[in-house]
Structure 1
């Protein structure tokens, strides 16, 4: 794997996305130290906090298979997430959805939408798109 793959995210981008989306049950991000420790325990190999930081920032981009398997195990994604653009994109979309569902407001809307007909869902989708377009044009964004 190279630092930047044509048409795809870099390894650093993929790892960083995992850190941004996969969180502790309380919503806090995992630290490099926590993840490195878990990866050391899972792989039985050296896996320092500095090494993980280097992977996250793109300063290192050629980890061993066991290191990637340990990261995949920690973040509960298939190892293919790090290699296959199609698989990675699909998993990233699922992770983004899971991250959004952590937000109580998003979760409430999603739970209410479950009972709607296909026409009702289409109407809600159109409304969301119209509001998003208006906010993009106005330069406003939802706070993180």
Structure 2
């Protein structure tokens, strides 16, 4: 299992949903000293109106099934008293009072709008579908369904979310955690600022790298922009 990091949740290809869920079940909910049994967890999910059986949870914990709906992810997270992003490798803290946590249906359209450089073609539903199919990791997705996702589908399957995350090179946690998404969006804005200054080769390398640490990355971007402002770098490539 890939370790969870507050700075960098795992990428889609690294995600092990079964291991994450099993680990969360074995870790007692705050205020309770007992790990979760599959039966207890199923009953807690059923109390939220989700048709989830203990057999189904056992299959999810063992990896026999790996494609719950987002509604099921939400129910599992609520029962376990963790942020929904925890199920995709993000923060494991409880949801804060008044916080909007969970699936962000507007995120797909937002990524379509912001994730392309001045030198690249904008994302389209067809391009997204073709990119997902070409990677041969998550199966195929129709252009029609991608359009539905862009319009804000509110309950896709997890593998669809992972396919989108893989396509856009963002951790799946981006689709569930507003705080983390805001940090990534700030990174994207800085990359665009680098392009605007003419430092294209560096901006391109940064934009393709999913392994940067936000604090280090931000410091590097700020230093480069400051140097550029004072004419200390002539990188125009």
* TM band (smaller chain): 0.5 to 0.7
| Residue pair 2:105, 2:149 contacting (<8 A) in 1 also | yes
In structure 2, which of residues 143, 149, 152 is the aligned counterpart of residue 49 of structure 1? 143
Show the counterpart of 1:113. Answer: 226
Q: Establish whether residue 102 from structure 1 lines up as the match of residue 215 from structure 2.
A: no
Q: Give the stretch that moved more between structures: 63-72 or 25-34.
A: 25-34
Give me the whole-angstrom Cα distance separating, in 1, the residues matched to 2:174 and 2:122.
Answer: 20
Show the counterpart of 1:129. Answer: none
1:77 aligned counterpart, secondary structure? coil
| Residue pair 1:22, 1:99 contacting (<8 A) in 2 also | no
Over 3 Å counting, the alpha-carbon distance change for 1:35 and 1:41 in structure 2 is same
Give me the whole-angstrom Cα distance separating, in 2, the residues matched to 1:76 and 1:13.
Answer: 17
Over 3 Å counting, the alpha-carbon distance change for 1:70 and 1:41 in structure 2 is same
Deviations 1:23-70 (A, max 9, x none): 267232022101112223444434111111111112x22122111111
Give me the whole-angstrom Cα distance separating, in 2, the residues matched to 1:90 and 1:100.
Answer: 15
Deviations 1:78-101 (A, max 9, x none): 111001122111112112222333
Q: What's the RMSD between the two structures over aligned residues?
A: 3.3
Structure 2's unaligned 5+ residue stretches are: 1-69, 72-98, 201-221, 231-237
1:28 aligned counterpart, secondary structure? coil
- Count, aligned residues: 111
| Residue pair 1:11, 1:55 contacting (<8 A) in 2 also | no
| Residue pair 1:19, 1:29 contacting (<8 A) in 2 also | yes
In structure 1, which of residues 69, 80, 92 is the aligned counterpart of residue 185 of structure 2? 92
Show the counterpart of 2:121. Answer: 28
Structure 1's unaligned 5+ residue stretches are: 118-144
| Residue pair 1:32, 1:53 contacting (<8 A) in 2 also | yes
The structure with more helix, counted as a fraction of residues: 1
Over 3 Å counting, the alpha-carbon distance change for 1:55 and 1:113 in structure 2 is same
Q: TM-score, normalised by structure 1?
A: 0.60
Q: TM-score, normalised by structure 2?
A: 0.39
